[in-house]
Amino acid sequence: MCSDGVIQLLLYLSMSEYAEVQSAAARAVANLTQNIDNEGAIRAARAESVLFRLFNTGAPDVKWQAKRALANLEAARTLIKLRQYGAAEVVIVSPGEIGEICRNADAANVGSQREVARALANIAAAAENHGLLLSEGALALCLDLVVSNSPDVQKQATRALANLALTEVAEVHQAMADDGALELLVLLTQSWDEGVQEEAAIALTHFAHRPQNRMALVRAGALPPLIEQLSSRSSSVRFHAALALAAMS
């Protein structure tokens, strides 16, 4: 949509003399700003000047949509910086850094949730970061994000839990179990999205690598959905379900 001149058309329609058209177009622009991948095209279309005008002169609904779009564009600048955590080498973070990342997970913006979850998943790939992920609220946030309506958010948050499950820090494992991470992962193995199913199976495999976690996984009900995954259409889901079951045996 962004590469075919749709943004320019929507901006034009947002200045329509008809209130319904103006409102619908402003809402569409605001929705596009939720995906930070659209940020460059939206700025190139000089959307901000139109959005400021709508905010100052539009009807209440149009004003709200313009405000939402401008807030998303402002947040996008910060969110794009989070992609530094996906570099070839895993970043070892400083105290306070994870907490700052977590504060960018806007509950009303799926794009921000996805970028924050992706950053946390990448950070969790380094064992040195595991203690800070627990103490600075990343575990609690990921447990919230895995029940998102967006499979992209769910996949990244589940990947973060999977990486965190590799920790050697006993209190992190205990916190994950106490906070219901196992039960949530079992639910995610039954997702309609195969990518989410796969990430959940990987996370359960990582949990099962520690012998003391295996009985907890059984009690959480992990066996039936993993066995069902062995019949999945996806070869990757079948493979990771088999690994999880083998690790639990």
pLDDT tens for residues 24-35?
988 998 888 887
Give residue 9's pLDDT. 85
User: Do residues 147 and 181 make contact, with C-beta atoms less than 8 angstroms apart?
Assistant: no
**166 to 16, 51, 81, 119, 209: CA distances (angstroms):** 55, 46, 26, 17, 8
Alpha carbons 237 and 232: distance in angstroms, whole number = 7
Alpha carbons 142 and 187: distance in angstroms, whole number = 15
Confirm or reject CATH 1.25.10 for domain 2-81, answering yes or no: yes
> Which superfamily, per CATH, for 180-249?
Leucine-rich Repeat Variant (1.25.10.10)
Residue-wise pLDDT tens digits, 51-61: 888 888 888 88
Give the distance, in angstroms, between the CA of residue 205 and the centroid of all CA atoms in the same chain: 21
Does 2-81 match 180-249 in CATH topology?
Answer: yes
The per-residue pLDDT of the chain, averaged, comes to 88
Give residue 237's pLDDT. 94
User: Do residues 204 and 244 make contact, with C-beta atoms less than 8 angstroms apart?
Assistant: yes
Local confidence pLDDT in tens for the 249 residues of the chain: 666 678 888 888 888 888 888 889 889 988 888 877 787 788 788 888 888 888 888 888 888 988 888 887 777 777 777 777 876 678 888 999 999 999 888 877 788 888 899 999 999 999 999 999 999 999 999 999 999 989 999 999 999 999 999 988 888 888 888 899 999 999 999 999 999 999 999 999 999 988 888 898 999 999 999 999 999 999 999 999 999 999 988
- 215's enclosing H/E stretch is helix 211-219
Give residue 3's pLDDT. 63
Domains of the chain, by residue range, sit at 2-81, 87-167, 180-249
Give residue 188's pLDDT. 94
Question: Domain spanning 87-167: which CATH class is it, in words?
Answer: mainly alpha
Give residue 164's pLDDT. 92
Give residue 52's pLDDT. 85
Token pair for 82: 């989070």
